[in-house]
């Protein structure tokens, strides 16, 4: 049975799935990286993903174009990010708890809206494969890397973009400073709240697009709680990647590789109890997190609210 | 034009030129007031930190601000820099009233500030710290290359040596301070407030700082210097303003003042500045013994290379040395905060080499750390909680389970009174105390336990002269009742005034141990620089 997994075509299939499946949590984890680098821990990512997934789906279901669906997800993601920012930056509530609250809010509201507005599980035709001319014809690699839908490409494009924003722009410098020493940033006239509002809105938008990539890109349906806790995996990936975008990418790929293996093991009918197969990626996350306790680049002010010392 | 020169257009308007380019325009209106503050009032719960204070700084002037711990010096300057809002009072710049609500406003008015505790982002480089919060010439992209050029120019012009590419966490305290000054210069400040800049510097670094300040003054900058060191103030300031308990005592021209007069103005009574110590010392058995102690510093480099010394009951042994020669590691090894890589430590005849800090404390060791904000107190605890930090589990502070709050309160009030700790209440958060008062709190806690051995690292740093007098008195008194003291200090006057013997440390080795009656500041200075033979 191991032989079956080892044929070239299966391997290509597994790697193709790996690249594809990473999309939703790559978006979400990149978004979370922005928040955490500025010192805000947002545990509500999953709730934002669900809201994004629902709104994108609903807009498309109502007959609008796919990109309008993505836009709807961005809008709802920014709003959810604003909500999180209001609660944990302006009201200075504990970041962990308020994140859980946001998650439950997103979970409940997306389910409620789904029941009232749609009712039953329906399909839409989502983003289609968009093979990149020439590149996709390279044997093996071509299929693995260059035969995906637009949202998948976008997710990977966001890795260098995020890196660039964090390391090469004035906003990025402010983000890094605020996450490490908000007091110092404040004395230089950097608005700590302003920066944190911004990163949470960026994070919300990315998480919501991650959700949309599920409902109108990969699965093309909406179901209650369809993310199955992927948002929490995204948070874990940020720690895993030591707050660096490349690290986050590596973590996302590793996680989705295990995920893809798990799917193929099931698809090929290899006799492994399906519960165990489904658990594999999550078990791996825990194991990996246990070994990445070295918190090298951890923003020193992570999860601490800031108030001017008066 | 690089942003580094952004302040220049401003400066030219006021006739200030930077000293680059060979010649400088000196037609700025010297002596014209740059900033004036009138009737400033600021209250905190339980204290009036500033009570109708008037203050002004002229162009090209170095104005010193002097006063006891908690007198309101930092608060007054933080108001000017927009970190606090005054409840009453007016601020004028160049004669026109201005509103300063935030550091951004202050920077816009040309006012920069170097804080008592540095405000730098450790993980960023020097250049990034300077660029933070500034508009870039390539917005929204960073222009660090240009900033770097600007930094190099300024550092040449003002004698501020720094490597623009070094991450801040690799820098020494003196270098960090230069980064802070650079931040203000780069922002085109016309005025710089320095809150106790010299407290953390070595004598060499102090000299370099004063050279920089001299250049700045010549170029029309207004400077405010807060310091507790009277000689420094007398040496480089033009005028001196003295505050006491939030109120203005007076502003005087420096040339009319002497050390004694200043001290009296500050404290309100005569202060004993020099101490003569001709009393015979009466030493007992050895209380602290170090034998061939070796240890590494944070980076893993050897920091102590075989230190042997002993302190007897009733004796103060000084450790002189330029900072960074192993003093910090020495104190930490004795306190049990740093593992040793060789040798042994004995406390009162008991080998304690592998003991925890708590057990050492129980046996009678007290420790006053150098980094008081980090290692000395829990900043978010109340004053009374910090005062009983070590002893809170034992009688009479608790019965093992519950804290005896009434007793703790009574005990705290007593210490606050005895050590003149200026705090509104015993429940005040320690972080809200002024710098010098936090130091007094630590001293009160450690000395009140009547320790057998006291290790004190820079105990009078940042403390006003009135309080220094009191601390010296306390140390001598406890010495007379049999306490053995290891006093680590960079201040030779302090060592010569207090110690019975002085050990000189250089590169983790004891160069020599001298009797204080048989040595001079010059001899100590040479040994501190590594000149001289090591004692076998
Ligand atoms: N943020 C704050 N909250 C409450 N009280 C404060 C705060 N900042 C300062 N104070 C109080 O105001 C008074 C003046 O403090 P300030 O720091 O200005 O003194 P200072 O003159 O700078 O003393 P030092 O020489 O010890 O630094 C002190 O009693 C201090 O406890
Ligand atoms: Mg102060």
The rounded Å distance from CA B115 to ligand 2 centre is 9
C-alpha to C-alpha distance for B480 and B194, rounded to whole angstroms? 39
- CB distance B163 to B126 below 8 Å: yes
Write a three-state SS string for B336-370. CCCCCCEEEEEECCEECCCCCHHHHHHHCEEEECC
Q: Averaged over A217-230, what is the pLDDT?
A: 92
**Torsion from C-alpha of A156, A157, A160, A163, nearest 10 degrees:** -80
C-alpha to C-alpha distance for B433 and B420, rounded to whole angstroms? 13
pLDDT of residue A29: 97
Nearest CA in chain A to B135: A170
Residue of B449, B405, B407, B444 whose CA lies nearest to B423: B444
A173 touches chain B (CB under 8 A): yes
C-alpha to C-alpha distance for B515 and B501, rounded to whole angstroms? 5
Nearest CA in chain B to A297: B123
CATH number at residue B356: 3.40.50.300
- The answer to whether the Cβ–Cβ distance between A189 and B431 falls below 8 Å is no
Which helix H or strand E contains B469, and what residues bound it?
helix B465-480
Q: Which atom in ligand 1 lies closest to the alpha carbon of residue B42?
A: 12
Ligand 1: does its nearest atom lie under 6 Å from the Cβ of B428? Answer: no
Residues of chain B in contact with residue A171, where contact means CB-CB under 8 angstroms, are 140
Report CA torsion sign: A274, A280, A282, A283: positive
pLDDT of residue B374: 65
C-alpha to C-alpha distance for B442 and B453, rounded to whole angstroms? 15
Q: Tell me which of A37, A170, A305 to substitute to probe the interface with B (most B C-beta atoms closer than 10 Å).
A: A170
- The owner of tokens 């821990």 is A41
Evaluate whether residue B378 is within a structural domain: no
Query: Chains A and B: how many Cβ contacts under 8 Å?
Result: 76
- The answer to whether the Cβ–Cβ distance between B431 and A309 falls below 8 Å is yes
What residues have CB less than 8 Å from A272, skipping those under 6 apart? A265
- The owner of tokens 């033979």 is B533
Ligand 1: does its nearest atom lie under 6 Å from the Cβ of B44? Answer: yes
| Blockwise average pLDDT, block size 10, chain B, 536 residues | 37 37 42 91 91 94 92 94 93 93 90 87 94 90 94 91 90 88 91 89 84 91 93 93 94 91 84 60 84 85 89 92 85 90 88 87 87 72 81 69 77 86 85 83 86 89 82 86 90 86 90 86 81 51
Evaluate whether residue B278 is within a structural domain: no
Domain shared by B328 and B223, yes or no:
no
Q: Averaged over A13-19, what is the pLDDT?
A: 92
- The owner of tokens 């174009």 is A65
Ligand 1: does its nearest atom lie under 6 Å from the Cβ of B11? Answer: no
A183 touches chain B (CB under 8 A): yes
Domain boundary pick from B398, B414, B448: B448
Q: Can you give the residue range of the structural domain that contains B395?
A: 383-448
- Helix (H, G, I), strand (E, B), or coil: what is residue A39? coil
C-alpha to C-alpha distance for A183 and A307, rounded to whole angstroms? 9
Q: Beta strand pairing status for B350-351 and B453-457? A: unpaired
Q: Which atom in ligand 1 lies closest to the alpha carbon of residue B439?
A: 26
Mean pLDDT is lowest, of A84-88, A281-285, B149-153, B352-356, for A281-285
Evaluate whether residue B46 is within a structural domain: yes
Q: Which atom in ligand 1 lies closest to the alpha carbon of residue B422?
A: 29
What is the number of the ligand closest to the CA of B244?
1
Evaluate whether residue B12 is within a structural domain: yes
What is the number of the ligand closest to the CA of B76?
1
Query: Strand order of the sheet with strand B62-67?
Result: B111-114, B191-195, B222-226, B62-67, B239-244, B247-253
Domain shared by B242 and B292, yes or no:
no
Would you state the structure tokens that stand for residue B280, as one six-digit string?
A: 């015979």
Domain shared by B251 and B356, yes or no:
no
Output helix, strand, coil percentages for chain B, rounded to the nearest 5.
Answer: 35, 25, 40
Evaluate whether residue B373 is within a structural domain: no
A176/chain B closest Cα distance in angstroms: 8
Note which residues in 70-89 of chain A have CB less than 8 A from chain B: none
pLDDT of residue B234: 93
Domain boundary pick from B448, B469, B486: B448
- CB distance A37 to A176 below 8 Å: yes
Query: Strand order of the sheet with strand B88-93?
Result: B47-58, B33-44, B88-93, B96-98
A278 touches chain B (CB under 8 A): no
Indicate the angle between helix axes A192-213 and A230-240, nearest 10 degrees. 130
What is the number of the ligand closest to the CA of B435?
1
What is the number of the ligand closest to the CA of B115?
2
Q: Tell me which of B44, B75, B121 to substitute to probe the interface with A (most A C-beta atoms closer than 10 Å).
A: B121
Domain shared by B182 and B306, yes or no:
no
What single DSSP character describes residue B172?
-
- CB distance B196 to B226 below 8 Å: yes
- CB distance B442 to B377 below 8 Å: yes
The b/e string for B105-126 (b: 16+ C-beta within 10 A; e otherwise) is ebbbbbbbbbbbebbbbbbbbb
Q: What angle do CA A171, A172, A173 make, to 5 degrees?
A: 90
B136 touches chain A (CB under 8 A): yes
Evaluate whether residue B334 is within a structural domain: yes
Write a three-state SS string for B262-291. HHHHHHCCCCCCCCCCCCCCCCCCEEEEEE
- CB distance A211 to A50 below 8 Å: yes
pLDDT confidence band for A217 (50 / 70 / 90): very high
pTM, two decimals, is: 0.77
Q: What angle do CA B419, B420, B422 make, to 5 degrees?
A: 130
Ligand 1: does its nearest atom lie under 6 Å from the Cβ of B75? Answer: yes
For a mutational test of ligand 1's pocket, the pick from B226, B432, B443, i.e. the residue with the most ligand atoms closer than 8 A to its C-beta, is: B432
Q: Which atom in ligand 1 lies closest to the alpha carbon of residue B462?
A: 25
Domain shared by B181 and B52, yes or no:
yes
Ligand 1: does its nearest atom lie under 6 Å from the Cβ of B435? Answer: yes
Nearest-CB residue to B103 (from A180, A189, A297):
A189
Residue of B352, B348, B329 whose CA lies nearest to B488: B329
Name the domain count of chain B: 3
Domain shared by B394 and B359, yes or no:
no
pLDDT of residue B8: 36
Q: Identify residues whose C-beta is under 5 A from ligand 2, the ion.
A: B 74, 434-435
Domain shared by B161 and B196, yes or no:
yes
- Helix (H, G, I), strand (E, B), or coil: what is residue A129? strand
Domain boundary pick from B391, B425, B448: B448
Q: B251 pairs with which residues across the strands?
A: B241
Ligand 1: does its nearest atom lie under 6 Å from the Cβ of B47? Answer: yes
B119 touches chain A (CB under 8 A): yes
Residues of chain B in contact with residue A38, where contact means CB-CB under 8 angstroms, are none
Domains detected in chain A: 2-119+148-292 (1.10.3470)
Mean pLDDT is lowest, of A85-99, A266-280, B11-25, B282-296, for B11-25
B117/chain A closest Cα distance in angstroms: 10
Nearest-CB residue to B123 (from A168, A180, A188):
A180
- The answer to whether the Cβ–Cβ distance between B124 and A297 falls below 8 Å is no
Q: Beta strand pairing status for B484-489 and B302-312? A: unpaired
pLDDT of residue A51: 97
pLDDT of residue B2: 39
Domain shared by B239 and B204, yes or no:
yes
Domain shared by B424 and B502, yes or no:
no
Ligand 1: does its nearest atom lie under 6 Å from the Cβ of B73? Answer: yes
The rounded Å distance from CA B14 to ligand 1 centre is 34
Ligand 1: does its nearest atom lie under 6 Å from the Cβ of B466? Answer: no
pLDDT of residue B1: 35
Evaluate whether residue B375 is within a structural domain: no
Nearest-CB residue to A171 (from B122, B140, B183):
B140
Domain shared by B411 and B467, yes or no:
no
Ligand 1: does its nearest atom lie under 6 Å from the Cβ of B241? Answer: no
B143/chain A closest Cα distance in angstroms: 9
pLDDT of residue B30: 61
Q: Tell me which of B113, B120, B133 to substitute to probe the interface with A (most A C-beta atoms closer than 10 Å).
A: B133
Domain shared by B90 and B148, yes or no:
yes
Longest dimension (CA), chain B: 74
Q: B496 pairs with which residues across the strands?
A: none
- CB distance B306 to B506 below 8 Å: no
- The answer to whether the Cβ–Cβ distance between A177 and B135 falls below 8 Å is no
More confident residue, A67 or B431: A67
- The owner of tokens 């108001």 is B79
B462/chain A closest Cα distance in angstroms: 21
Evaluate whether residue B277 is within a structural domain: no
Domain shared by B512 and B409, yes or no:
no
pLDDT of residue B493: 82
B187/chain A closest Cα distance in angstroms: 10
pLDDT of residue A235: 93
């Amino acid at each position: 049975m191991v032989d079956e997994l080892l044929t070239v075509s299966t391997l290509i299939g597994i790697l193709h799935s790996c690249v594809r499946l990473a999309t939703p949590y790559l978006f979400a984890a990149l978004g979370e990286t922005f928040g955490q680098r500025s010192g805000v821990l947002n545990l509500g990512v999953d709730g934002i993903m669900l809201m994004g997934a629902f709104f994108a789906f609903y807009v498309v279901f109502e007959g609008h174009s796919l990109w309008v669906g993505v836009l709807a997800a961005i809008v709802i993601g920014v709003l959810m990010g604003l909500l999180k920012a209001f609660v944990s930056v302006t009201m200075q509530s504990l970041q962990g708890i308020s994140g859980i609250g946001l998650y439950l809010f997103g979970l409940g509201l997306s389910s409620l809206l789904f029941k009232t507005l749609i009712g039953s599980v329906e399909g839409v035709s989502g983003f289609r494969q968009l093979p990149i001319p020439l590149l996709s014809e390279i044997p093996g690699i071509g299929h693995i890397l260059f035969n995906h839908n637009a949202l998948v490409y976008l997710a990977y494009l966001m890795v260098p973009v995020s890196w660039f924003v964090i390391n090469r722009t004035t906003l990025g410098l402010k983000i890094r400073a605020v996450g490490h020493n908000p007091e110092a940033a404040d004395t230089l006239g950097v608005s700590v709240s302003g920066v944190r509002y911004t990163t949470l809105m960026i994070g919300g938008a990315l998480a919501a697009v991650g959700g949309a990539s599920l409902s109108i890109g990969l699965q093309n349906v909406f179901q209650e709680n369809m993310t199955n806790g992927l948002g929490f995996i995204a948070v874990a990936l940020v720690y895993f990647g030591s707050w660096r975008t490349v690290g986050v990418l590596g973590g996302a790929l590793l996680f989705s590789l295990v995920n893809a293996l798990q799917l193929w093991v099931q698809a090929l009918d290899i006799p492994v109890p399906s519960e165990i197969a489904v658990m594999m990626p999550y078990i791996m996350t825990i194991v990996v997190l246990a070994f990445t306790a070295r918190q090298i680049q951890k923003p020193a002010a992570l999860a601490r609210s800031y108030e001017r010392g008066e | 034009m690089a942003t580094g020169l952004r302040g220049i257009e401003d400066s030219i308007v006021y006739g200030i030129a930077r000293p680059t380019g060979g010649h400088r325009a000196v037609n700025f209106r010297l002596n014209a007031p740059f900033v004036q503050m009138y009737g400033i009032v600021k209250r905190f719960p339980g204290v009036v930190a500033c009570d109708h204070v008037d203050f002004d700084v002229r162009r090209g002037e170095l104005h010193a601000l002097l006063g006891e711990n908690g007198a309101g010096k930092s608060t007054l300057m933080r108001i000017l820099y927009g970190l606090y809002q005054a409840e009453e009072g007016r601020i004028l710049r160049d004669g026109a009233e201005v509103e300063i609500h935030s550091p951004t406003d202050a920077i816009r008015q040309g006012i920069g500030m170097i804080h008592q505790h540095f405000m730098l982002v450790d993980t960023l480089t020097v250049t990034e710290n300077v660029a933070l919060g500034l508009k870039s010439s390539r917005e929204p992209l960073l222009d660090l290359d240009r900033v770097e050029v600007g930094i190099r120019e300024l550092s040449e012009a003002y004698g501020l040596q720094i490597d623009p590419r070094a991450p801040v966490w690799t820098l020494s305290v003196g270098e960090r301070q230069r980064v802070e000054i650079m931040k203000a210069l780069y922002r085109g400040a016309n005025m710089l407030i320095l809150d106790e800049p010299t407290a953390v510097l070595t004598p060499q670094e102090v000299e370099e700082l004063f050279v920089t300040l001299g250049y700045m003054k010549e170029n029309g900058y207004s400077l405010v210097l807060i310091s507790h060191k009277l000689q420094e103030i007398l040496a480089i300031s033009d005028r001196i303003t003295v505050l006491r308990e939030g109120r203005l005592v007076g502003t005087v021209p420096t040339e009319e003042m002497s050390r004694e007069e200043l001290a009296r103005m500050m404290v309100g009574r005569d202060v004993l500045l020099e101490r003569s110590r001709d009393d015979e010392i009466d030493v007992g058995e050895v209380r602290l013994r170090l034998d061939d102690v070796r240890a590494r510093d944070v980076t893993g480099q050897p920091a102590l290379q075989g230190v042997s010394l002993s302190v007897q009951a009733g004796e103060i042994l000084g450790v002189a040395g330029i900072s960074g020669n192993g003093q910090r590691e020495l104190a930490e090894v004795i306190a049990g905060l740093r593992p040793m890589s060789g040798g042994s430590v004995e406390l009162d005849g008991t080998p304690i080499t592998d003991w925890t800090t708590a057990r050492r404390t129980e046996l009678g060791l007290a420790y006053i750390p150098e980094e008081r904000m980090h290692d000395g107190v829990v900043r978010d605890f109340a004053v009374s909680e910090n005062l009983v930090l070590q002893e809170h589990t034992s009688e009479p502070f608790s019965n093992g389970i519950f804290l005896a709050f009434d007793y703790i309160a009574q005990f705290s009030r007593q210490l606050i009174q005895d050590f003149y700790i200026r705090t509104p209440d015993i429940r005040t958060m320690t972080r809200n105390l002024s710098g010098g008062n936090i130091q007094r709190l630590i001293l009160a806690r450690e000395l009140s336990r009547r320790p057998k051995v006291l290790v004190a690292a820079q105990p009078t740093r940042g403390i006003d002269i009135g309080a220094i007098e009191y601390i010296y008195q306390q140390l001598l008194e406890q010495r007379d009742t049999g306490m053995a003291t290891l006093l680590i200090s960079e201040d030779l006057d302090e060592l010569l005034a207090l110690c019975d013997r002085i050990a000189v440390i250089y590169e983790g080795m004891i160069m020599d141990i001298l009797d204080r009656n048989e040595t001079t500041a010059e001899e100590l200075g040479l040994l501190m620089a590594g000149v001289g033979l090591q004692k076998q």
